[in-house]
Every structure is written in C-alpha cells, then in structure tokens.
Amino acid sequence: MTGITARAVLWALLGLATCVPELPAQTPGRPAAEQPRTYGASPPPLRPAAVEKLSDGRLRVGAVTVNLATREVSVPGVINAVPVLEFLVNTKGGYKSYESAIEADASAIDFNLGLILIGLDRDHARNRPRFHFDPLPPSGDQVELWVAWKTPGGERRVRAEELIWDERSKSTMPLGTWVYTGSRFVERTTAFLADVDGVLVGFVHTPAPLIERMEPVPAYGAIQVNPTLGLMPGSAVTFSVRALGKPGR
C-alpha cells in the first residue's frame, strides 16, 4: 500500500464512530421546509467500504472508482427531482437530496477516502466555510468536476457547471474554481458533517461538503438543473472529480 493510501485509510478511520448530529439553529429567511431538520433515508455509515484493487493504479471503495494514474475519482449516480439547487452532489439517501442535482451511490466517508487517495489534502484548505452562505471564498486543493451520461449517440461528458442553470439569466453557471475543503467533524462529536448533512459537493459556501466552489454564492431560488440537457429525474449519470496540480503541493 502506498504512503498516500495508508494515510487515507488512517484519516477515514477517524470518522467511524456512530454519528451524533449537532442540530443547527434556524437560519433567518430560509424556507420553512428546511426547518426543523430531519435526516435522509440512509443513516451515516459506521465505517468505510474496503479498498479493492481493480488493476494497477485502479482501486474501488464501495461504488467509488479511483484512478491513481489520472488522479480521478468517479461514482455512479442519478439526477434528483428538485426545483431549487444549493448543492451539486448528495450522498446516497442523504438529507440534502431535496436541493442537490445528483444523488451519488456513495457515502461521504467512501468518497472522501477516494479523494485522499488521489492526493487531496484537507490541510491545504486554509479557508473553509464557517457557516451557510459564508461570503468569504474557500480555498484548498483545486479540482475539476465532470458529469457523464449515455445518449443514443454515445456518451456525453460535460463540466459540472453545465449542469447548473440560472433561471434569471437563462444560462449555465460560468466555469469556475472548485476546491477540496474536506468537510469537518461536528463539534464535540465524531460525526462527519458531510455524512450527517449528506452532501459531497456544494456551491453556497457551507461547512458540510467535501468540495466547494470559490466564486461568490449565487442568489438563492434561481439555480436549477439545466433543462436544456434533457436529463430527467432518475437519469443515470457518472460524476467525476479530477485533481489538478501536483499531489502534496
């Protein structure tokens, strides 16, 4: 096992204890449907899936595929039926599926293990979101996000921004910078917040996701799944993260 792999397994093991959620205070001006807080159909996992070697340089953690050579992590998922977005990807059965574009077939612990295996390091995230809609831009190891699906003419693969639609401007989200912030543990517990909230990727600067967007938070209520792509609720997709730069920069 490589040094990166060993470090990843040790880091993931920190989140194995039973999650004890910390209930947040209500946020003024937020939709009443979000309060009081409840949790998704799938409880946070107690441990990550076993790491399985597929071939030289390719591993699998549950449904998460890790390509060490290209430094890419991918997972199958489906498009959610949601009117308004705050997150790009939620965990399987995750609480925030009602405002996420894609439900991934993975827990946050499994997906995070894959991200660490390709060299992403939470310690590089000097700025992490402190609260929902934090105006300060987050920092961290930079990544590219991709979404792929099958069409009658073959596979189509687009940058994740193309999946996100601004109803006000009738346009997709501009290409931007996505960074690995690594989520965090709930204060005074061993609960991993990404699994408690059930989110992997977001763009409204909140502490829970593993990956956030650096650019300013878009206006709430106008962001949707891109209707021009023809992706209906339940459509099967593959979500991928590719690390940029050198590992351990």
The model's pLDDT over 174-201, given as tens digits with 9 standing for 90+, comes to: 999 999 999 988 877 778 999 999 999 9
CA contacts within 13 A on the Cβ side of 209: 28
Residues paired with residue 119 on neighbouring β-strands, in sequence order: none
- Burial (CB count within 10 angstroms: exposed 0-12, middle 13-18, buried 19+), residue 144: middle
Q: What pTM did the predictor assign?
A: 0.83
Position 212 confidence tier, pLDDT thresholds 50, 70, 90: very high
Structure tokens at 176: 């931007």
Residue 220 to residues 10, 128, 179: CA-CA distances in angstroms? 38, 20, 21
What whole-number percentage of the chain has pLDDT above 70? Answer: 80
What is the distance between the terminal CA atoms of the chain, rounded to a whole angstrom? Answer: 21
Per-residue model confidence as pLDDT tens digits over 90-112: 999 999 999 999 999 999 999 99
Average pLDDT of the residues of the chain: 85
Position 27 confidence tier, pLDDT thresholds 50, 70, 90: very low
What is the pLDDT at residue 42?
A: 53
Task: Please state, in angstroms and rounded to a whole number, the distance separating the CA atoms of residues 18 and 82.
Answer: 30
Query: Residue 103 is inside which H or E element, if any?
Result: strand 100-104
Question: What is the spatial order of strands in the sheet that 171-172 belongs to?
Answer: 171-172, 164-166, 223-225
